[in-house]
Amino acid sequence: MLEKVRYEGAYPTRERAEAAVRLVLEGLGRQLTGDERVELAARLPSEAAGILAGQVPDVQPLTGWAFVKDLAARSGATPATTRWDTGSVLATVATLAGPDLLTRILSRLPSGYALLFGRAELTQAA
């Protein structure tokens, strides 16, 4: 997983890719609850699963953009850099999750996460 994130994100070092994975999985662990959280953890490598599952879910879930801004504030990076990190990590997570689980995850999260996972944000017409 780490090497895939490093390649997809064009990170110069393994340590930089690892920092991005840790930051984003910690954040996702604070947003995701229920069976989807358990199933996703089961599909991740053990260390990544521990990072995700080791977080206490937030009481108030964040939209996708608020998620990126929260990670930027926690890491001290710019929102643009954090958006890159988030997309690099979550695209890999999406592949590991598979399409069915990813659809269920996205249905549980507030708006704005689909693009972070590399999917189009689909909405129903009024």
Separation of alpha carbons 11 and 5, rounded Å: 8
pLDDT at 124: 53
Separation of alpha carbons 100 and 56, rounded Å: 25
Separation of alpha carbons 39 and 52, rounded Å: 11
Compute the half-sphere exposure of residue 46: CA atoms within 13 Å on the CB side of its CA: 0
Interval 50-61: pLDDT, tens: 999 999 999 999
Q: In the structure encoding, which two tokens stand for residue 81, read together?
A: 């850099």
pTM (global) more than 0.85: yes
For the chain, which residues score pLDDT lower than 50?
A: 125
pLDDT at 122: 62
